[in-house]
Structure 1
């Protein structure tokens, strides 16, 4: 271990410039001595949980409430059901696709957190304006799908990366909490689109929602600030340096990355490609369940009950599940929790088949909710696992690469899922989805933290470090 004083200027830090950088035996650097309030000008880092959470709830209307608005949009603009499907599909593609280039720009200082949020907020407004005022489907796809998708993706990626950087010792629960807002935040808008949205007022409703997203996201962005590179909470001893501190239990289960991996190094480790493939498979099953659950229910005669279990309830299950598994991952460890979630998702697919065959409505609802739980809960786990494995300094780019698996899964779960349903029927398609989940769980079992292959690598050092600052 080396210990040196460092008083270099860092643009990310404000207030106190006094800190020390300590290096462990593997070369991992921890910047200690500065509190969160030193960096944030007197504010607690809890602000960097609540503000991203609020912003994520604001943008959730674009994806999770869209289905409730489809009928009115199709009637008002004279679109077909296929038209509305492609608008959302393009939105999903660009929402996921912007994560990597945005991360690349962010880590080079070209597009920092606050401007990224401002830009995302403005693009979201333009997206809703396009959905409101453009009758031709192609311009609407470009406006809401491309422009609005990029805007939402910028906000999503910035919020997830922000909370991960500020809570390196307890990022599971915090990331899950923030990520959950992206699902249940749409709940009030689902009711708006269901009961107060028709061809007589759809312009006003969509325009007002666009303004709402702009104001909320921009207001949250005003306070956004990244911590300095390698920053570590002043009241938490880094692993391998001893001491009983808060967050010690989570750090024992989820030790920080052995070093700060660049994207190229993360890819060469083999773990980032494995995570990407696992995201593709798991998200594909999730998209399949969301896309065909209602149709399958109607096929077996469960229409009224499925209507009762509205998308509003599903969004709550999906969002709360993300927060719960984030908390569990701090207790159980990130990888075991991920495997558990994927197994639950897979078993739910087979459970849906069973419920349909025996015509049990309550079993169908139970397994549908389990599918919704598993289909959302893996996202915050990957968001936390990425900096756990590869460090925080390049997390915006590394997580952008991992999250880009959602690009492929959208086609895999929707388009290919439709082909399988046509060829094999719903039972065959759900059985295949369950099998894909089993494969994804096996891939998840193969994940391991690069650079920490031995138990003694994560055993605390018997001598605690000093807490003096210079």
Structure 2
């Protein structure tokens, strides 16, 4: 993996200009001195792993029909499979993050290859619904491992480009499914889908294995140098317990639940919403097709932008626009204005999806890089509650108050999160002396 820097490195040669007038910090050169190759290859590995796990979340709607037909069960009974996925994918990340911060990413990533790849492969042999529950939950743990390892590889190695590099990884998670969907849709029959599941399971396992042998964490000296660099935004590494004692974390947790609830509702129910509003089938299909495209673009572009502006302001504007976009989705659907409806779906998704770039970046800004895996995993657990709202609660609300009001509630949640971001401030510097500890080692 050595050799000349890729073009991105030549363009970047990332340096941070110190506010005290000292020498710029050349993170790219320091990383290469340790690794022996460009740190961008770590992002390539993270992106590869994130892309191949995306079918768990974004291809499920294409395989649930053949699975239901093969098992001879009503399709609604499979709804709990996706709920379990969200719970195990988000809930597994704190123990995984703690392990990774203490022992490095390699061993746990190799475990993820077995769990995520193996579970998808074995779906082809499921003969009852409880087996689907178990396999998708096991696979979700593998997905959670890959997600926290990939995102925090960017956080740890790119203190100067957090938004861009986390955006690349989370974009792959949103957009990687585009590589699988045509293959799956072309073979989404009871006769063919078994071969599809087996092939995808093998691809998932091999790609994660390759990534696992590349990924690693910085040495202890890297974290000590970051504490001395005023441009990285944090002067200490908070333990998870210390982070939980700050009001900033709990405000961000509430924001995370609100935005993820709104976005997951949009993702899970946009087709049903369009049909309920009597929009044509082509419009419903296009709305679902645009979701991963808009989501991937939003994570990358707004992640990069957040490196150049105040991240708190970026969050306030982004989440507010997501909420306004959801309000527009309702109004244009009610009016039957197809093009404006689709544009509103793009806007809402484009400004919702960057939460998965902005939140890990600001957690590192506020609480340091050394324990970023465990710390962000605690915040990411809010996705479980967002998933409950976006799935079960939204489904119940539709029967009580109707589709339009339910989607407006989602828009209000996102708008409240945007307004709450204005209140965020870094934890008081004078309180951080008790939060530092021995920097974690590498794998």
Query: 2: CA distance between counterparts of 1:353 and 1:129?
Result: 39
Aligned twin of 1:314: 291
- What secondary structure sits across from 1:309 in the alignment? helix
Task: Pick from 4, 23, 30 the counterpart of residue 35 of structure 1.
Answer: 30
Task: Pick from 197, 212, 216 the counterpart of residue 206 of structure 1.
Answer: 197
Query: 2: CA distance between counterparts of 1:441 and 1:223?
Result: 37
Whether 1:93 aligns to 2:87 is: yes
Whether 1:50 aligns to 2:47 is: no
Aligned twin of 1:122: 114
Structure 1 portions without partners, runs of 5+: 1-23, 241-250, 454-470
Task: Pick from 140, 143, 146 the counterpart of residue 135 of structure 2.
Answer: 143
Query: 2: CA distance between counterparts of 1:157 and 1:32?
Result: 22
- State whether residues 282 and 375 of structure 1, in contact with CA within 8 Å, keep that contact through their aligned partners in structure 2: yes
1:171-182 alignment, distance < 5 Å: 171-182=162-173
Aligned twin of 1:442: 419
Aligned twin of 2:143: 152
Whether 1:265 aligns to 2:242 is: yes
Query: 2: CA distance between counterparts of 1:75 and 1:99?
Result: 33
1:248-259 alignment, distance < 5 Å: 251=231, 255-259=232-236
- State whether residues 63 and 188 of structure 2, in contact with CA within 8 Å, keep that contact through their aligned partners in structure 1: yes
Deviation track 1:92-139 (CA, whole Å, cap 9, x = no partner) reads: 110111110111222332xx3011111011001222133211121112
Structure 2 portions without partners, runs of 5+: 1-18, 431-443
Aligned twin of 1:451: 428
Aligned twin of 1:218: 209
TM-score of the two chains, using structure 1 as the length reference: 0.82
Task: Pick from 347, 352, 357 the counterpart of residue 380 of structure 1.
Answer: 357
Whether 1:341 aligns to 2:318 is: yes
Task: Pick from 79, 84, 89 the counterpart of residue 78 of structure 2.
Answer: 84
- State whether residues 320 and 419 of structure 2, in contact with CA within 8 Å, keep that contact through their aligned partners in structure 1: no
Aligned twin of 1:298: 275
CA 1:452–1:31 in 2, change beyond 3 Å: closer, same or farther? farther
Deviation track 1:293-323 (CA, whole Å, cap 9, x = no partner) reads: 1112112221323344163432121111100
- State whether residues 89 and 141 of structure 2, in contact with CA within 8 Å, keep that contact through their aligned partners in structure 1: yes
More helix per residue: 2
- State whether residues 113 and 205 of structure 2, in contact with CA within 8 Å, keep that contact through their aligned partners in structure 1: yes
- What secondary structure sits across from 1:323 in the alignment? helix
Count residues with an aligned counterpart. Answer: 408
- State whether residues 227 and 236 of structure 2, in contact with CA within 8 Å, keep that contact through their aligned partners in structure 1: no
